[in-house]
Amino acid sequence: MTPPPSSSLALQRLYHWERTAPDRTVFTQPMGGGLLKEFTWKDMVDESRRMAAFLQQQGFEPGSRIAILSKNCAWWIMADFAIWMAGCVSVPLYPTLAAGTIAQILQHSEARLLFLGKLDDWDAMRPGVPAGMPCISFSLSPADAQARVDMRWDEIVARTAPLPGSPLRDGADLATIMYTSGTTGVPKGVMHSFANFAWAIDAGLKRVSLNADARMLSYLPLAHVAERSLVEHGLLATGMHLFFAESLQTFARDLQRARPTTFFSVPRLWVKFQQGIHARMPPQRLERLLRIPVAGRFLRRKILKALGLDACQFAAGGAAPMPPDLLRWYSMLGLDIIEVYGMTENCGVSHATLVGMRRPGTVGVPYDGVRSRLDPETGEIQVQTGCLMLGYYKEPELSAAAFTADGWLHTGDKGVVEADGCLRITGRVKDLFKTSKGKYVAPAPIEDKLVASAAVEACCVVGANYPQPFAMLMLNEDAAAKSREPGARAALEDAMANHLLTVNHGLDPHEQLEVLILMKEPWTVENGLITPTFKIKRNVLETRYAASFDKWTSSDRKVVWAD
């Protein structure tokens, strides 16, 4: 495939905005206590240049790996730019990782230095940072993290002259190593070049309406490929205004401040928005009012304004399947959510539904320049693009196994292409399991139906070698709290039993669920049951609870509580 022009590479775009729009605001950063700090392109690039000069003064050889451990903030992106200017390679870490995973990634990547920033649980993470690892703390890093390190961002940029000129990187140069969130095992370091990201954002902008007047809120981890491609490289491509979220507690206010014109989120958050609205107005009443022409228009505007999405022109969901009923519900509000599909190994650029294409349950058609096919034997989706990874860092055998003999990327996802060319994902090739009756079950479509319940936060359908499949459900916070009240607990059990009947009614006999298990233990990143992007770790859940499967499935009740 034709490589992107050098003018579209990251550093070239950075210098373009420094030169043509120096006084335009690029970042709005909450500083706590209601205070905001704004950066112009001139301010932002100047700090990046000063940090790049400091990194070069440390004598790191070209290509040295430098890690970033922080929640999203202005300094995260400036650190990335500084790393690239200095001729090095960035290694982003999710800000929710356990100490053991942090240690593993820092060791495997051979990181020479670590930027420490906004973190919610630094005490738990601290043991993962090797003794003697040079660290630079951002302005918003925890006080005890700043006390631990000798180098602070503000002090370094205050005393260091900016790197002169316009140091560039070749398109083929390694830009970053992004460690996958690891639903099936040890995280792998996905290597991407500057040309990969340039190709990816060029393809993406043919679908996403971003320009210099666009506003986005950056809150999903920049260590994730979606945020990295759409937000960081979208910023470089368009010169848009980027707002950062302060915290979970202030998220609603952060969103209303930004009033994003483009908003991307994972299904879990789209569900939470819906549940918040239903908590104020019962679903049946809301739907009835929305059908009234004048009242419906007023109510739609009021709801979207309350969410901070009244200016949103392009809404998207991805990283996990979007339940079709959820997409239909947002369409009823006048917000058509585009479903996007991709993976770390292809810069997140593969398929997406088109604006105005209401195809719930599909991920649309390939981006321009993306080729897609299905394996005739397994139904696996395979893709070929101009932004495929260079391979897994220090893993030549795994790198080779990630591609077919003729160079197509194995996605591991199973799908079908419908008559209009839209791709429907039916599950993971390896997630299929066989019941004791010899029937194969794909869990993902069943899970989509289960999470339609307002009480369900996440779920996992299992049942290999059992007569019928069954499901483990994690309740959302409100439902879990109510379940501790005797009367409410019984009502919840009845509601879930009715939900089971509804779900089973739409399934083939061999797919129908034997029982729903309501879990008392939350599934979190910290206890290793979900990834930092909220994907369930199916194999971990099965292993952890396997000893209880026989007891749960032998119950004469259709809804049981986990011990």
Mean pLDDT, consecutive 10-residue stretches, the chain (563 aa), reads 87 97 97 93 98 96 97 97 98 89 94 95 90 92 78 95 96 96 71 97 88 93 92 96 92 91 86 82 83 84 87 84 79 86 93 80 90 91 95 94 94 89 83 76 85 87 89 87 80 90 85 91 83 78 88 89 83
* Cβ neighbours for 139, distance < 8 A, ≥ 6 positions apart: 31, 75, 152, 153, 154
CB 120 within 8 A of CB 140: no
CB 510 within 8 A of CB 522: no
Q: What is the DSSP letter of 558?
A: S
Could you tell me the CATH superfamily of domain 435-561? Answer: ANL, C-terminal domain (3.30.300.30)
Whole-number Å distance between alpha carbons of 297 and 301: 6
| CA-to-CA dists, residue 435 to 438, 441, 558, angstroms | 5, 7, 19
406 phi, psi to nearest 5 deg: -100, 20
CATH of domain 6-241: 3.40.50.980
Return contacts of 53-59, CB within 8 angstroms, 24+ apart. Answer: 53/86, 53/160, 53/161, 53/162, 53/163, 54/156, 54/157, 54/160, 55/82, 55/83, 55/86, 55/88, 55/113, 56/86, 56/87, 56/163, 57/160, 58/112, 58/113, 58/134
CB 233 within 8 A of CB 11: no
Return contacts of 537-540, CB within 8 angstroms, 24+ apart. Answer: 537/183, 537/184, 538/183, 538/431, 538/443, 538/460, 538/462, 539/183, 539/184
| 38 sits in which H/E element | strand 35-40
**What SS3 string covers 410-476?**
EEEEEEEECCCCCEEEEEEHHHCEECCCCCEECHHHHHHHHCCCCCEEEEEEECCCCCCCEEEEEEC
Whole-number Å distance between alpha carbons of 345 and 410: 9
| Tokens found for residue 120 | 């919610």
Question: Do 6-241 and 262-310+312-429 have matching folds?
Answer: yes
56 phi, psi to nearest 5 deg: -65, -35
Distance, C-alpha 494 to centroid of its chain:
34
Whole-number Å distance between alpha carbons of 343 and 182: 12
CATH of domain 262-310+312-429: 3.40.50.12780
| Tokens found for residue 93 | 């870490």
CB 119 within 8 A of CB 70: yes
Q: Where are the domains of the chain?
A: 6-241, 262-310+312-429, 435-561
What pLDDT does residue 181 have?
A: 62
| CA-to-CA dists, residue 284 to 194, 272, 337, 535, angstroms | 50, 18, 22, 30
What pLDDT does residue 182 have?
A: 53
Whole-number Å distance between alpha carbons of 260 and 246: 15
Whole-number Å distance between alpha carbons of 507 and 513: 9
Whole-number Å distance between alpha carbons of 133 and 141: 17
What pLDDT does residue 381 have?
A: 94
Query: Rg of the Cα trace of the chain?
Result: 24
Q: Which residue has the tokens 């390939």?
A: 366
Q: Among residues 404, 424, 429, 402, which one has the least CA distance to residue 414? A: 429
